[in-house]
């Protein structure tokens, strides 16, 4: 008999209790005037023009928003077309000189965090870097219609464009926030990634990067001299947890004060609603999910797809699914069924037609008309000895898609279509889809606020058009919409393009969700900027 058993357990218990008790030692006063935000990825490169490739993460982009001010920001309507509706930031005002020239006047109060004033030279320098293909290939593509950026004096910058189009101001302000030329012009671009500027950036924004603790958190301090007003919350911690359950736990245990997306799963919503210290804020999200039909035969890309090249089959799948039910099952009331590939942050969503409801009868008729009938009564249609069987490709990284896939599988079984699921590891999924080796791909995109991004996936020459969908009419409609000058109805030309896409049914558009943010109630004047979460953090205050 070992007499030390009771002693051991008692001392272990005491140790644990003392550890637990020491939590009380942390006074809440040390937390006043601070906020802990929980996010999924550690931002390691929040520097404009450097967020290329693997560094183009949402985390980096959002942190860059706090450190570096843009010339002008998107307004609450998120309208990207035209010159109005933007919020002055580094640029106090702008004038349009002609259909291809914009002049920005910088705010004389704007300063870098080391005290040096922001000048036109900084903007010119930044765009030199941004339009350099060996530094920023992604930006080069986005800024391709800017032909020159020149300084007129200390505070005026003139942008010239290659042609008139609606989003000139957007292109000039959104993609690249100015960098401090006086600190960076001596560092060659290749060396910038390893320089100390990345770990201790000097920006023009409302917050300053204080320190980074790898894999754990990033700490920001308020820029006391921010020209648009000192942020009331002095200390911001961006806490990193890659696992969604860990993030929710941090929030519910009081270790974090705000989180950028609570759902899915819908479960979290209920848990957070029960915590009265938290407030839920739905915000439009740039995410959109759809079932993409491969127009080509996966075995032979030169030939059309044996089943899906028939428009009737594609329409039947869209009509056979109860998309509203699916969306409600996964997102509750926090998502819509989109008309066309339109996420909830695209301004063209307003006034767009509504998505069609389920019509099982019409779906069945379409399939029968296409020659698919259930001749052997096994519940699955067939034609000339071939079963109506398709495979659905999806990445395992998306819990939403995994859940929806099973529901979709069952719904399609009801109209006699056998859907086989193929869930794959992310890189493998990418490889299969870019190689065109799929029947249906469960795709999801994160869209920029500008609808011109639609050309990437839905125009004949689009870079992400893995299904090889091509309708020249859509291309020209999109072109007209992009060039169009906004008048009374800026959305109109876009609706025409969307209508054509819906008619062609290259995909079944499933969900355009909202993000549901959760923030502790003791924060006041809280507003969340779609597609840029915490951009307006500088206006929040802590009432503790």
Q: How far is the CB of 448 from another protein (least distance, A)?
A: 8
Assigned token pair, 135 = 């530094």
294 contacts: CB under 8 Å, gap ≥ 6: 305, 308, 436, 438, 439, 440, 441, 466, 467, 468
Strands 86-88 vs 91-98: parallel, antiparallel or unpaired? unpaired
Residue 327 contacts another protein per CB under 8 A: no
Among 376, 378, 431, 503, binds another protein (CB under 8 A): 431
Residue 492 contacts another protein per CB under 8 A: no
Residue 420 contacts another protein per CB under 8 A: yes
Binding mask 261-300 for another protein (x = CB under 8 A): ---xx-x--xx-----------------------------
Residue 301 contacts another protein per CB under 8 A: no
Residue 234 contacts another protein per CB under 8 A: no
Interface with another protein: number of residues (CB under 8 A):
85
Distance of alpha carbon 257 from alpha carbon 409, whole angstroms: 39
Q: Please check whether residue 504 is in contact with residue 471, taking contact to mean a CB–CB distance below 8 angstroms.
A: yes
Cross-strand partners of 389: 418
Residue 358 contacts another protein per CB under 8 A: no
Strands 217-222 vs 418-424: parallel, antiparallel or unpaired? unpaired
Among 309, 422, 471, 541, binds another protein (CB under 8 A): 422
Residue 384 contacts another protein per CB under 8 A: no
Instruction: Output 316 or 393, the one with its CB closest to another protein.
Output: 393
Residue 56 contacts another protein per CB under 8 A: yes
Q: Residue 528: which of 217, 62, 71, 85 has the closest Cα? A: 62
Instruction: Output 224 or 350, the one with its CB closest to another protein.
Output: 224
Q: How far is the CB of 370 from another protein (least distance, A)?
A: 26
Q: How far is the CB of 231 from another protein (least distance, A)?
A: 17
Containing H/E element for 418? Answer: strand 418-424
Axis-axis angle for helices 266-274, 244-252 (nearest 10): 10
Residue 242 contacts another protein per CB under 8 A: yes
Q: Please state the φ and ψ torsions of residue 83, each to the nearest 5 degrees.
A: -105, -10
Among 129, 156, 239, 520, binds another protein (CB under 8 A): 239
Residue 341 contacts another protein per CB under 8 A: no
How far apart, in Å, are the Cα atoms of 535 and each of 173, 385, 424, 458? 15, 58, 35, 30
Of 114-133, binders to another protein (CB under 8 A) are: 133
Residue 31 contacts another protein per CB under 8 A: yes
Axis-axis angle for helices 492-504, 472-483 (nearest 10): 160
Binding mask 389-418 for another protein (x = CB under 8 A): -------xx-x--xx-xxx-xx--------
Instruction: Output 90 or 330, the one with its CB closest to another protein.
Output: 330
Q: Please check whether residue 288 is in contact with residue 445, taking contact to mean a CB–CB distance below 8 angstroms.
A: yes
| 375 three-class SS | coil
Of 211-230, binders to another protein (CB under 8 A) are: 213-217, 219
Exposed, middle or buried by CB within 10 Å (0-12, 13-18, 19+), for 159? buried
Distance of alpha carbon 507 from alpha carbon 509, whole angstroms: 6
End-to-end CA distance of the chain: 56
Q: Is the dihedral of CA 149, 153, 156, 158 positive or negative?
A: negative
Instruction: Output 221 or 368, the one with its CB closest to another protein.
Output: 221
Among 10, 14, 16, 299, binds another protein (CB under 8 A): 16
Assigned token pair, 508 = 């079944």
Task: Tell me the Cα Rg of the chain.
Answer: 26
Q: How far is the CB of 142 from another protein (least distance, A)?
A: 9
Stretch that binds another protein, among 28-36, 299-307, 338-346, 471-479 (CB under 8 A): 28-36
Instruction: Output 122 or 542, the one with its CB closest to another protein.
Output: 542
Instruction: Output 60 or 168, the one with its CB closest to another protein.
Output: 60
Stretch that binds another protein, among 102-110, 201-209, 424-432, 524-532 (CB under 8 A): 424-432
Among 13, 351, 353, 463, binds another protein (CB under 8 A): 463
Residue 138 contacts another protein per CB under 8 A: yes
Q: Please state the φ and ψ torsions of residue 317, each to the nearest 5 degrees.
A: -65, -45
Q: How far is the CB of 22 from another protein (least distance, A)?
A: 6
Q: Residue 272: which of 107, 543, 519, 541 has the closest Cα? A: 519
Residue 480 contacts another protein per CB under 8 A: no
Instruction: Output 271 or 383, the one with its CB closest to another protein.
Output: 271
Stretch that binds another protein, among 76-84, 147-155, 243-251, 307-315 (CB under 8 A): 243-251
Exposed, middle or buried by CB within 10 Å (0-12, 13-18, 19+), for 499? middle
């Amino acid at each position: 008999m070992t007499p030390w058993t009771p002693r051991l357990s008692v001392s272990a218990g005491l140790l644990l209790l003392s550890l637990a008790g020491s939590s009380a030692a942390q006074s809440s006063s040390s937390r006043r005037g601070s906020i802990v935000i929980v996010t999924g990825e550690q931002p390691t490169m929040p520097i404009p023009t450097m967020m290329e490739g693997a560094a183009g993460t949402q985390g980096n982009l959002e942190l860059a928003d706090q450190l570096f001010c843009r010339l002008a920001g998107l307004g609450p309507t998120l309208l990207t077309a035209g010159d109005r509706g933007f919020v002055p930031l580094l640029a106090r005002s702008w004038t349009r000189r002609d259909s291809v020239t914009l002049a920005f006047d910088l705010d004389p109060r704007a300063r870098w965090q080391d005290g040096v004033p922001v000048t036109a030279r900084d903007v010119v320098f930044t765009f030199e870097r941004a339009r350099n293909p060996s530094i920023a290939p992604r930006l080069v593509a986005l800024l391709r219609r800017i032909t020159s950026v020149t300084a007129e004096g200390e505070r005026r910058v003139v942008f010239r464009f290659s042609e008139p189009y609606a989003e000139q101001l957007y292109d000039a302000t959104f993609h690249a926030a100015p960098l401090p030329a006086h600190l960076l012009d001596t560092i060659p671009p290749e060396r910038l990634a390893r320089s100390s500027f990345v770990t201790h950036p000097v920006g023009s924004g409302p917050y300053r990067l204080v320190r980074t603790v790898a894999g754990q958190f990033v700490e920001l301090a308020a820029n006391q001299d921010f020209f648009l007003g000192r942020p009331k919350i002095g200390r911001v911690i961006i806490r990193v947890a890659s696992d969604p359950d860990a993030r929710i736990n941090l929030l519910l245990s009081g270790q974090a004060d705000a989180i950028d997306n609570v759902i899915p799963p819908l479960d979290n919503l209920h848990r957070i609603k029960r915590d009265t210290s938290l407030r839920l804020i739905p915000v439009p999200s740039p995410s959109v999910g759809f079932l993409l039909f491969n127009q080509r035969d996966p075995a032979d890309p030169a030939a059309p797809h044996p089943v899906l090249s028939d428009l009737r089959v594609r329409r039947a799948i869209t009509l056979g699914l109860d998309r509203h039910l699916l969306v409600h099952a996964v997102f509750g009331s926090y998502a819509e069924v989109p008309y066309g590939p339109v996420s909830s942050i695209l301004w063209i969503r307003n006034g767009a037609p509504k998505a069609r409801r389920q019509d099982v009868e019409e779906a069945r008729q379409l399939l029968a008309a296409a020659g698919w009938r259930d001749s052997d009564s096994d519940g699955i249609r067939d034609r000339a000895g071939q079963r109506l069987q398709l495979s659905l490709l999806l990445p395992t990284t998306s819990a939403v898609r995994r859940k929806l896939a099973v529901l979709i599988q069952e719904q399609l079984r009801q109209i006699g279509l056998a859907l086989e699921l193929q869930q794959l590891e992310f890189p493998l999924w990418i490889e299969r889809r870019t190689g065109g080796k799929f029947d249906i791909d469960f795709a999801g995109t994160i869209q920029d606020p500008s609808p011109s991004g639609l050309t990437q996936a839905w125009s004949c020459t689009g870079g992400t058009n893995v299904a090889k969908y091509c309708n020249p009419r859509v291309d020209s409609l999109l072109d007209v919409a992009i060039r169009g000058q906004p008048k009374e109805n800026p959305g109109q030309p876009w609706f025409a393009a969307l209508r054509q896409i819906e008619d062609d049914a290259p995909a079944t558009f499933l969900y355009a969700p909202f993000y549901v943010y959760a923030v502790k109630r003791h924060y006041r004047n809280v507003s969340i900027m779609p597609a840029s979460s915490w951009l307006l953090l500088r206006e929040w205050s802590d009432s503790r």
